[in-house]
Amino acid sequence: MRNAMIFVLGIFLAAAVAPLSWAQNAPSGPAAAIAAFDTDKDGTLSWDEVRVAALAKFKAADPDHDGTLDAKEAAKLGITKSMLKKADPDKDGTLDSNEYLTIVKQRFDAADPDHDGTLTVKELGSPQGRLLLQLIQ
């Protein structure tokens, strides 16, 4: 009976830890972004799909849930202090979700050289695309 309880406890602990481990090692990169965020399954990411992903990333990067990213929180997403200053028109030293989306949209447009409004795996794999991926994955 004791061995059975230990076994069940072990299974429970493994199940509890598995999602944490997966989240820390979640797939990243262009193909993973399309697999995760391409809601219409056309093999590309539209601005609407990127916007949804970016807002989720913003929310995850805001641990104090104050609706803004300070310099430290923004830095975890690869946003430098100088980038934050440029994207912060109200000069409060933080990025709200609209200011964050401005950066994301600039990166989206830079990664879309054919200006068709969608990003392919190849475009997401470009240097500009990889900068965008930092803000959505």
pLDDT tens per residue, range 63-116:
999 999 999 999 999 999 999 999 999 999 999 999 999 999 999 999 999 999
pLDDT at 59 over 80: yes
Is the overall model pTM greater than 0.75, yes or no? Answer: yes
Query: Residue 54: inside a domain, yes or no?
Result: yes
The phi, psi pair for 25, rounded to 5°, reads: -115, 25
Number of domains in the chain: 1
Query: Residue 7: inside a domain, yes or no?
Result: no
Output the pLDDT for position 28: 86
Query: Residue 80: inside a domain, yes or no?
Result: yes
Query: Residue 20: inside a domain, yes or no?
Result: no
Give me the domain span that covers residue 32.
27-136
Q: How far apart are CA 33 and CA 121, in angstroms?
A: 9
What 8-state DSSP symbol labels residue 112?
-
Query: Residue 121: inside a domain, yes or no?
Result: yes
Tokens of 76: 């975890």
Output the pLDDT for position 13: 41
Contact 50, 136 (CB under 8 A): yes
Domain CATH for 92: 1.10.238.10
Output the pLDDT for position 16: 43
Average the pLDDT over each of 26-30, 68-72, 130-134 and give the range with the smallest value.
Answer: 26-30
pLDDT at 12 over 80: no
Contact 101, 112 (CB under 8 A): no
pLDDT at 22 over 60: no
- Residue 60's identity, in one-letter code, is A
Query: Residue 108: inside a domain, yes or no?
Result: yes
Output the pLDDT for position 27: 64
Query: Residue 115: inside a domain, yes or no?
Result: yes
